[in-house]
Amino acid sequence: MYTYKSNIFKLLNTINAKNAVVGIAKRIAQCETCPLYKTRTLTVPGEGDPTSDIMFIGEAPGLNEDKEGSPFVGRAGKLLDQLLNEIGLSRNKVFITNMVKCRPPNNRDPAPSEMSSCSRHLDSQIQVIEPTVIVTLGRFSFSKFFPGLSISKARGIPRTWKNKHIFPMYHPAAALYNPSLRPRLAHDFTKLSQLLNESHHMSKIHNGSPSQVKPKQLGLFDQ
């Protein structure tokens, strides 16, 4: 009886989360808060499992994403899929989104005002999905949670933000432009896998500070 009730609860939770994520996507499709709506083809709200414990946050949609309405479908997306597969994950088991939901013209960096305008949508997604681990891909998404910290120094080190683990990484596109970053990105994905597998040991993470758990316990900080 307990298992039956538990399964029903999980099903209802999944349905509610899916409906809520769809509702957010509809609001994003109608959003005209910043000028990016004037040049977009499609909005890119994000996709994946709305009940996942893991959320990936990139920077902004590119040309391919703007055409298809899905995040990370270009070359950077193929690399992300490969890295996920290497640690036994797939994009349908996580939730993937971006700081802004419309493509900046010519794939330029998102402006602070654009990220600020779009933050309400991202905040709503975080609130609904309730991920345990948020993986920030690139400096813009990392700065949402820890402004002023360098991604090059912070990458691969879990930190806490409110009741969540923030795990910063380089953006996959950075590894395409600079192949020397590819091994570091792969190494950080290995650390992420260890964090996911052993997250029950992460109670010693200090708020806003790197974890003080010893490497032999988690293996997260081997360089």
Sole residue written with tokens 């010893």:
214
Neighbours of 204 (CB within 10 A): 11
Single out the residue of 112, 129, 137 nearest to residue 164, CA to CA.
129
3-state secondary structure of 47: strand
Residues 28/46, Cβ–Cβ less than 8 Å: no
Q: What is the number of structural domains in the chain? A: 1
Sole residue written with tokens 């997604």:
125
Sole residue written with tokens 């029950």:
200
Sole residue written with tokens 């806003």:
208
Q: Is residue 122 part of a domain?
A: yes
C-alpha to C-alpha distance for 85 and 79, rounded to whole angstroms: 10
Q: Is residue 14 part of a domain?
A: yes
Q: Is residue 169 part of a domain?
A: yes
Q: Is residue 149 part of a domain?
A: yes
Identify the domain containing residue 39 by its residue range.
Answer: 2-218
Q: Is residue 223 part of a domain?
A: no
Single out the residue of 20, 110, 6 nearest to residue 58, CA to CA.
110
Q: Is residue 66 part of a domain?
A: yes
Using only the alpha carbons of the chain, give its radius of gyration: 17
Distant-in-sequence contacts of 157-161, Cβ < 8 A, 24+ apart: 157/210, 157/211, 157/220, 157/221, 158/133, 158/195, 158/202, 158/205, 158/210, 158/211, 158/220, 159/205, 159/208, 159/209, 159/210, 159/211, 160/205, 160/206, 160/207, 160/208, 161/134, 161/207, 161/208
Q: Is residue 146 part of a domain?
A: yes
Residues 201/104, Cβ–Cβ less than 8 Å: no
pTM of the full predicted structure? 0.85
pLDDT, one tens digit for every residue, the chain (223 residues): 556 555 665 666 788 889 999 999 999 999 999 999 999 999 999 999 999 999 999 999 999 999 999 999 999 999 999 999 999 999 999 999 999 999 999 999 999 999 999 999 999 999 999 999 999 999 999 999 999 999 999 999 999 999 999 999 999 999 999 999 999 999 999 999 999 987 644 433 334 445 443 333 333 333 3
- Looking up residue 27, the CATH number of its domain turns out to be 3.40.470.10
